[in-house]
Structure 1
Amino acid sequence: MEKNNRFDSGLSTVKKMVSQEAFENISGMKNISPDFWEMIVAFGFGDVYAREGLSFDKREIITITSLITQGAFDQLEFHIRAALNVGLTENEIKEIIIQCAAYVGFPKAVQAMLIAGNVFEK
């Protein structure tokens, strides 16, 4: 896919997945590094999330699980919000976190559940 098409596809994809507020928060990255913003949008959302084969909700299950496994909690709130926007329920997200507890440990699962709880309250 051509570079401009990848970026445009990525913008379209991320805007389908997240609220306008969440999009504005992450788009601040372009003020720090326009090149990195281009990479996030073109690759992350244009090449990966826009692929056929998995729905957005399945991709978010994988992403949430991966973030918990890595302990990458700074990204977790964004993806829990995206997961809710693409159709996952609060209960499904809780079950993902509970499932992760068995494989990555309770400290990471507890942190993830606290983040999820904050998202659910808002």
Structure 2
Amino acid sequence: MPNKTAQKNHDEMFPNHVSTLKQTDPEFIAVFDNFAFDEVLQHSHLDVKLRLKVTLASLIAMQCLNEYKAMVTAALNVGVTPVEIKEIVYQAVPYAGLGKVFDFLNGTNDVFREKGIQVPVAPQSTTTPETRADKGLATVRQIVGDGVDKMLATAPANQKHFATFLADNCFGDYYTRTGIDQQTREMLTFAMLISMGGADPQVKGHVAANHHVGTSKQTLLDIITVLLPFIGYPRTLTAVNLVNDVLPDKEG
């Protein structure tokens, strides 16, 4: 059986819920819940809402649809809003790609309908086709500095469109949306990148971006900590090393 603390934390997310696995695999559930919902949480300072937000982002990146749908219910139970959940899904598109995110759009809508939540949710876009490029470029400068400007200035003609896409699509279409603030979007992006693997340069770029918008190294380590039970040790330890590469601890 999970210990009392693990059970309490689990019940906060899933009140009055009896897990099927608790009946079929009680030893496993005891080990997992004691670790994920007690021991791990002793080493993280994230509030429960942020913890669920980064978990949803991570599960999208890893294509864990069934667990994602369960965690959408948990997120709603602890007070994450339907708008915030939809924005997490939308934020995943420029990083995981629509091919991976499409099922999660439908899965989110399925859970919302089951809960009686009306879709579509309130619109959050702040740009138009005419303004998305300029607003996106202004936003990317706020978050990551002049990297896209340098790409626009130096990229070969047959590659310059990638820098344009970063400005008008990645940042202009997504980061300019309301519903979730820019700092949270950066934390979600970090959670997705460390969860999907194979994107080490981008992880390092978004460690720096998180730091630039005010997210501390400790918060990034807290995010890695709460995701460990879901993403496993190889990606966890890789993420810790990448954070340390960009933000080394000060000596003395």
Tell whether the structures are fold-level matches, with TM greater than 0.5. yes
Equivalent residue in structure 2 for 1:70, among 192, 196, 204: 196
Given that 1:69 and 1:108 are in contact with CA atoms closer than 8 Å, whether structure 2 keeps it comes out as yes
Closer, same or farther in 2 for the Cα pair 1:80/1:9, shift >3 Å? Answer: same
Asked if 1:95 is matched to 2:218, the reply is: no
Asked if 1:28 is matched to 2:155, the reply is: no
Taking CA–CA contacts closer than 8 Å with sequence separation of 6 or more, which of the two structures ends up with the larger relative contact order?
1
Alpha-carbon separation, structure 2, partners of 1:19 and 1:90 = 19
Aligned with 1:51: secondary structure? coil
TM-score normalised by length of structure 1:
0.87
Alpha-carbon separation, structure 2, partners of 1:53 and 1:27 = 30
Aligned with 1:121: secondary structure? coil
Alpha-carbon separation, structure 2, partners of 1:19 and 1:41 = 12
Structure 1 gaps, min length 5: none
Q: State the percentage of identical aligned residues.
A: 27
Report how many aligned residue pairs link the two structures: 118
Alpha-carbon separation, structure 2, partners of 1:101 and 1:73 = 17
Moved over 3 A (4+): none
Asked if 1:6 is matched to 2:129, the reply is: no
Structure 2 gaps, min length 5: 1-127
- Name the aligned partner's letter for residue 81 of structure 1: A
Higher helix proportion: 1
Given that 2:151 and 2:160 are in contact with CA atoms closer than 8 Å, whether structure 1 keeps it comes out as no
State the Cα distance separating 1:19 from its structure 2 match: 3.5
Q: State the structure with more CA Rg.
A: 2
